[in-house]
C-alpha cells in the first residue's frame, strides 16, 4: 500500500522561522536575548509586541527552544542557537511538548483560565528544563484575569517562564508591563521582505519577476505572514513558464487590484501638465481595468511622496524600479516644495472624499479636476509678491477646465491699471516744536508727553536726544521711535540724555505767558487802573485782531 502524500502547507507555516537567524529585521532583539542567555540573566517574563505577522509567536517558540535545548548529545544548555534536532526542539517546533503550553487569550480570557495557570505553575516541568507558558493576544484577558495573574507573573517559580505576545500593547495594564521584559518587534522593511520572498520562490521552484516581489512586499506593509499569504495566492494565480509557475507584476497588480505603476506615473504627468481630458480618460481606463479609485489615489500619493523624498535628499526606496527612480529625480528637479506640498494636500483630501463618497469614480474625477485646476494657478506667495509690486499676474485657466496649448495660451496677463505710486513721505520738520505738532496729530497722548514731560537736548533728524523732567512710561521711547520711522520712512535714533536741555515746551509756553502778563501790567494805563480800583484783578489779554474775529464769527 502506497504512503499517502503529505497535505499541502501554506507558505506562511512552511517557512516559519526555526532559528533566530531566520528572523527578519529583528537583530536588536536577537542580540539582547543572546547576551541574556550567555550571561545567565534571563527574565522570568517576556512581552513581545508588534504589528501582525512580524514574528511574535514564532519568536516565543524560538525562546522556548533556546531555553530547553539539550543539544544533539543531550548535554547542552540554554543557547541562542538551538540545535533543532534534539527531542525538546522537535517537540516544541511541532507544538506537542508537554511543558510548553500555548494559550489563546482571545478564547481563554477569564479568571478561571488564569487560576488554572496559577495552580499549575507550582509543579515542576515534566521533562524540560523550564515550564513555559506562551499567552498569545494577551491584551484580550479581562481586567479580573489580569489582576489574578499579577502575583504569579511577578514571582513565578524558578522553573517557569512566561512569554506574552500582543498586537495592542496599549491595552495591557501598566502593572503587567512593569513585570515583563519588553521587546518591540519592528515592521519588516519592504526590501528585506522582497529578498526573503526571492529565497522562498527559489525554494519552491517558482519563477517570479523582481517587480512582482516588490509589489507583494509593499502590499504586506511590514508583515512577513501577510506577504507570504499574498505570495501563496500569487503563485496559485500565476501562469506557467516551462515546468514551473511564473509570477509576473501584471498578475500581482490584477490580483490585488493595484494600479500599474507606469499608469500612475503617466496620470501624475497629466495632472502636472493640467491636461483635464487626458486625466479623465486615464482615470476611466484604470477604472475599467478594475482599479479602485481609492487605490489610484494611493498610487498618486506615493508618487508625490517619492518625488518629495528625492528632492529633499532623503534617499530612494530600494523597492522602486529604475524607471520610477529616474522619473522621481526628473520631477524633483522641476517642482518646488510648495507645489509638492499643495499636491499632497489636494490628493489627500481627494482620497478621503473618494472613500466616503456614494459615487467613488465620480468623486475621484472631481477631485482630480480640482488638482488640474490648481496646477494652472500660480504659487500663492509668488502671486502676492507680484500683486504687491504691481507686476503682471498669470492668466486664469480656460473655461473648459484645462489650459490652452502652450503656443496659444498667454502665460501672463497685463495688469489692468498700473500700481499707484506710494504716497510721498514728508521730510522731517525743521524744528522740534513742529515735530511735536506732527506727533500730536498722529498720537495725541504721545504728543502731549513729548510736549510737557521732556526737554530738548539735541534735534538733528534722524537723531533726537531728550531729557525727561518727570517719569515717562516704559514704552515711550519705543512708541516714539516706531511712529517716527513710519512717518518719515527711515530709522530714527531716539535716546534719553543727561546733558543740558532746553525747558520743556510746556515750561517755555508758561514762561512766555508770564512775560506777556508782566509786560501788560507794566503799562501806564493798566497801573493807573489798578491804583484807581483796589479790587481789580487781571483776567488775561485778548489782542484786538482776535477779538474782532470772535465778534464777526
Is 6 part of a structural domain of the chain? no
> pTM value?
0.56
Tell me, yes or no, whether 178 lies in a domain.
Answer: yes
Instruction: Report residue 329 CA to chain centroid gap.
Output: 23
Choosing from 151, 184, 217, the residue where a domain stops is: 184
CA 293 and chain centroid, separation: 25
Are 141 and 34 in a shared domain? yes
CA dist 513 → 172, 411, 432, 537 (Å):
88, 71, 20, 16
Could you tell me the CA-to-CA distances from 35 to 40, 48, 49, 184, 305 in Å, in that order?
Answer: 8, 17, 20, 17, 40
Number of domains in the chain: 5
Q: Check: CB of residue 49 under 8 Å from CB of residue 166.
A: yes
Residues 213, 252: Cα–Cα separation, whole Å: 9
pLDDT tens string for the chain (553 positions)? 445 456 778 888 888 888 888 888 888 888 888 888 888 888 899 999 988 888 899 899 999 999 999 988 888 888 888 988 999 999 998 889 999 999 999 888 889 888 888 888 988 888 889 999 999 999 999 999 999 888 888 888 999 999 999 999 999 999 999 999 999 988 888 888 999 999 999 988 888 888 889 888 888 888 889 889 989 888 887 765 445 678 888 888 777 766 567 788 888 888 888 888 999 999 998 888 778 888 889 889 988 988 888 888 766 665 566 677 788 888 888 888 888 888 999 999 999 999 998 999 999 999 999 988 876 566 666 666 666 666 655 554 343 344 434 333 333 233 344 444 555 567 788 888 888 888 888 888 888 888 888 999 988 888 899 998 888 888 888 888 888 888 887 788 888 888 888 998 888 888 888 888 888 888 888 788 777 777 777 776 666 555 555 555 5
On whether both 99 and 120 belong to a single domain, the answer is yes
- Shared domain for 28 and 144, answered yes or no, is yes
Euclidean distance between CA atoms 290 and 74, whole angstroms:
59
- Indicate if 61 and 108 belong to the same structural domain: yes
* 241 and 198 assigned to the same domain: yes
Q: At 480, which CATH number?
A: 3.30.300
CATH number of the domain that residue 230 is part of:
1.10.8.60
* 80 and 161, same domain (yes or no): yes
Provide the grid cell at 276: 483635464
Q: Look-up: residue for cell 500565476?
A: 238
Q: 525: domain range?
A: 515-552
Q: How many CA atoms lie within 13 A of 132 on its CB side?
A: 29
pLDDT tens string 455-500: 999 888 888 999 988 888 888 888 888 888 888 877 888 888 888 8
43 is a domain residue: yes
Is there a domain that residue 405 lies in?
no
- Evaluate whether residue 289 is within a structural domain: yes
Among residues 137, 152, 184, which one ends one of the domains? 184
Whether residue 371 sits in one domain with residue 300: yes
DSSP string, 480-513: HHHHHHHHHTS--EEEE--S--PPPHHHHHHHHH
Contact yes or no for 93/86 (Cβ under 8 A): no
Amino acid at each position: 500500500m502506497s504512503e499517502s502524500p503529505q497535505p499541502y502547507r501554506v507558505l506562511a507555516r512552511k517557512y516559519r522561522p526555526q532559528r533566530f537567524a531566520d528572523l527578519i529585521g529583528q537583530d536588536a532583539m536577537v542580540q539582547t536575548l543572546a547576551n541574556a542567555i550567555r550571561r545567565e540573566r534571563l527574565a522570568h517574563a517576556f512581552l513581545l509586541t508588534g504589528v501582525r505577522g512580524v514574528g511574535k509567536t514564532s519568536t516565543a517558540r524560538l525562546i522556548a527552544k533556546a531555553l530547553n535545548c539539550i543539544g544533539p548529545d543531550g548535554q547542552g544548555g540554554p543557547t541562542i542557537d538551538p540545535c533543532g534536532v534534539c527531542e525538546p526542539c522537535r517537540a516544541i517546533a511541532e507544538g506537542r511538548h508537554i511543558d510548553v503550553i500555548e494559550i489563546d487569550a482571545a478564547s481563554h480570557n477569564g479568571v478561571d483560565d488564569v487560576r488554572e495557570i496559577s495552580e499549575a505553575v507550582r509543579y515542576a516541568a515534566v521533562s524540560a528544563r523550564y515550564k513555559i507558558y506562551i499567552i498569545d493576544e494577551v491584551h484580550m484577558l479581562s481586567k479580573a484575569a489580569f489582576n489574578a495573574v499579577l502575583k504569579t507573573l511577578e514571582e513565578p517559580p524558578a522553573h517557569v517562564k512566561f512569554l506574552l505576545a500582543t498586537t495592542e500593547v496599549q491595552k495591557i495594564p501598566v502593572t503587567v508591563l512593569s513585570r515583563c521584559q519588553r521587546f518591540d518587534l519592528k515592521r519588516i522593511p519592504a526590501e528585506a521582505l522582497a529578498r526573503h520572498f526571492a529565497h522562498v520562490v527559489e525554494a519552491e521552484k517558482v519563477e517570479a519577476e523582481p517587480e512582482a516581489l516588490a509589489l507583494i512586499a509593499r502590499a504586506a506593509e511590514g508583515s512577513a505572514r501577510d506577504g507570504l499569504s499574498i505570495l501563496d495566492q500569487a503563485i496559485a494565480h500565476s501562469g506557467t513558464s516551462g515546468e514551473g509557475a511564473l509570477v509576473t507584476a501584471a498578475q500581482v497588480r490584477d490580483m490585488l487590484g493595484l494600479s500599474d505603476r507606469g499608469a500612475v506615473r503617466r496620470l501624475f504627468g497629466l495632472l502636472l501638465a493640467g491636461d483635464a481630458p487626458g486625466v479623465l480618460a486615464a482615470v476611466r481606463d484604470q477604472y475599467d481595468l478594475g482599479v479602485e479609485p481609492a487605490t489610484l489615489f494611493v498610487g498618486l500619493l506615493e508618487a508625490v511622496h517619492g518625488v518629495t523624498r528625492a528632492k529633499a535628499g532623503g534617499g530612494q526606496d530600494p523597492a522602486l524600479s529604475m524607471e520610477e527612480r529616474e522619473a522621481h529625480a526628473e520631477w524633483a528637479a522641476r517642482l518646488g516644495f510648495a507645489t509638492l506640498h499643495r499636491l499632497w494636500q489636494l490628493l489627500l483630501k481627494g482620497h478621503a472624499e473618494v472613500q466616503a463618497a456614494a459615487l467613488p469614480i465620480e468623486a475621484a474625477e472631481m477631485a482630480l479636476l480640482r488638482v488640474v485646476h490648481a496646477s494652472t494657478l500660480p504659487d500663492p506667495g509668488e502671486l502676492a509678491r507680484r500683486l504687491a509690486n504691481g507686476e503682471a499676474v498669470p492668466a486664469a485657466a480656460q473655461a473648459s477646465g484645462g489650459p490652452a496649448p502652450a503656443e496659444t495660451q498667454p502665460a501672463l496677463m497685463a495688469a489692468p491699471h498700473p500700481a499707484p505710486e506710494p504716497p510721498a513721505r514728508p521730510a522731517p520738520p525743521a524744528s522740534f516744536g513742529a515735530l511735536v505738532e506732527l506727533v500730536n496729530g498722529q498720537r495725541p497722548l504721545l504728543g502731549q508727553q513729548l510736549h510737557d514731560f521732556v526737554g530738548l537736548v539735541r534735534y538733528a533728524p534722524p537723531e533726537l536726544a531728550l531729557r525727561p523732567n518727570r517719569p515717562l512710561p516704559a514704552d515711550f521711547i519705543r512708541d516714539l521711535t516706531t511712529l517716527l520711522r513710519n512717518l518719515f520712512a527711515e530709522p530714527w535714533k531716539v535716546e534719553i540724555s543727561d546733558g543740558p536741555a532746553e525747558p520743556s515746551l510746556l515750561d517755555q509756553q508758561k514762561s512766555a505767558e508770564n512775560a506777556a502778563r508782566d509786560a501788560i501790567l507794566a503799562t501806564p494805563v493798566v497801573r493807573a487802573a489798578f491804583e484807581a480800583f483796589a479790587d481789580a484783578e487781571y483776567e488775561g489779554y485778548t489782542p484786538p485782531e482776535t477779538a474782532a474775529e470772535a465778534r464777526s464769527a
